[in-house]
Structure 1
Amino acid sequence: MATQASEKVERLLNLVICLLHTRRPLLKEQIRRAVPQYDQESDEAFDRMFERDKDELRTLGIPLRSRVDVVFEDDTGYFIDRSEYALPQIEFTPAEAAALSLAARTWTHAALAGSGAEALRKLTAAGVDTDGAASSPTLGVEPRVRAVEPAFDAVHAAVVATQPIAFDYRRSGAPASRRHVLPWGIASWHGRWYLTGYDTDRQDSRVFRLGRIEGKVVRDGRPGSYEVPADHDARSAVRFSAGSRESSGVAQLLVRAGRAHALRRRAIPDTLADPGAGASDAAESVEDLGDPQRDETWDRISVAYDDTGRFVDELCSYGADVVALEPAPVRSAVIDRLRAAAQMAPAGSAGTGAGEAS
């Protein structure tokens, strides 16, 4: 059985269709006969309903116009101006189309990946070249935003709907406890996703790592039942909290000159050596691993990390351009990972050198 709200939406939709597809203004009686919901009402009820619906459409920004009949001056006709109602043809430059395609392909392993794929299909159906032109500044760039935490979709939906939620949260070295939260925002920091919000039990703002949420995230109130502080910046809050409480350590690295710029940008200030500084350390380290190329320039930098596994993955992606010096667990893990990859590579491939260099 249809609810009162759905009946209203259906009535307004029928009214819009009726007034949008007429070639001339329609009188009230003509509208009453064309819209089924009106024809079921008494004269007085129809007049009140029609007046409310006119105001509703105008509030929604729909250009409802009225015109007095030139013959019978006491009769008013109604119509919707198509030129104002319809959106103009939207066109994208090759760079804009490539940027949209890039944004849609960014998300992986989350509900937003489906939305991105659907957006790409709509753009393609509209004749937009989503691959972009060869001159596009995004050509060859394919970032990825991973969201593999099971709680991500539910938490993201709660943030969008400003809906209170409850979940079991496990802090480091402590058993899981029930938390009741007003979600404010969600942000990524060093490969992990965090929720910012107001903990109603503790009466204070908190930051939660999604990977530590156990079980299902359940709704704990009505959507739109609270307001997010106007000055709240989720990423700043996560950076402050995660950066100050979850840093696992600092790694000493040797980076080949002109390589691994992402690591260089995260180097702790005053630890990036001048070109050539640390070269002897590099030669000694590389010599231990049997790399004959000892005459290249290396930089020694320090980089903070908060997850050993993710950090090792990142270092391995640079192959022979990065040498992990300290701490010992990180260095050993990088060497083991690259040597295992080298053993799996076909004989004579470039992967062997990378495995030995780190």
Structure 2
Amino acid sequence: MIETSARLLQLLSLLQLRRDWTSTELADRLDVSTRTVRTDIGKLRSLGYPVEARPGVAGGYRLAAGTAMPPLVLDDDEAVAVAVGLGVVATHGLGAEETSLTALAKLEQVLPARLRARVEAVRDATSVVPRAGTVLDPAVLSAVAAAIRAAERLRFGYTSHDGTASVRYVEPHRVVSWGARWFLLAWDLDRLDWRVFRVDRMEPRAPTGARFRRREIPEDAVVEHVVGRVRRATWRYRARLRVHAPAAEVAVRIGAPLDITEDGPAACRVGVGSDDPDRLALWIAQLGADVEVLEGEELAAAFDRLAERFRRAARGPASAP
């Protein structure tokens, strides 16, 4: 009984990990026969898990949305609360954003329509005091995550940083959280190249239902690729600094995958960028080290404004303009 229960849990985990499995794939992963897989699928169904079967050579199994939440997991109220909470964590920078997004995608896959409606109602009726930066619509992020997990092509309206609107058709690969923003790395089917999109500028259209085979890109190159594209394309203002602190220490303080190179034992050079040079100057000031602006007139001017503001604050109310 213990062995069977453990295998059922492993089978359920596999079904949640990927949208579609053939019986042969599941049998290989579980080290059992395809007949045992069919038996175990029947047991999951008897427990309330909505496992769909597709006949034929290319057939298989998938975990689908059902008419009720699977028992022994969450009741309706708990499911709604968890979905809303995961959306807040994923989009408001409370930590564990990527893990929360993965969990949210798994949960929403099996939410019945009536519970999805309740989740949307709570989201629409709830306000959260925003932090600095862009707050995402959880529904958009969920739609993107679901398309990635299902290997389903995605069509969406997109507004670029200069205000140009377009409709994009892509094969979504991965979402990357960077500071207050989320970026989608996807293969653009019209431009036949990798592209990076800010998720807060996306408006997903109806699901296409078109499946695709994932393109190979090393996982350790995903973040590097996104950062490189963002630096080249989406920052309105760019600058290069010399920071008077060791490169290893600056990397820890920044906590973001920026371009940092050593410049002697006690200094380094850093490439930075932002849509707002004043906010960027304030952020750099929090590094707690002396800096020199090597390139970037807008950032240098922002430092002048920030310094004058700090001097007025130090002098007191009499110095206010």
Instruction: Indicate the TM-score class for this superposition, using the shorter chain for normalisation.
Output: 0.3 to 0.5
Calculate the TM-score normalised by the size of structure 2. 0.46
TM-score relative to the length of structure 1:
0.42
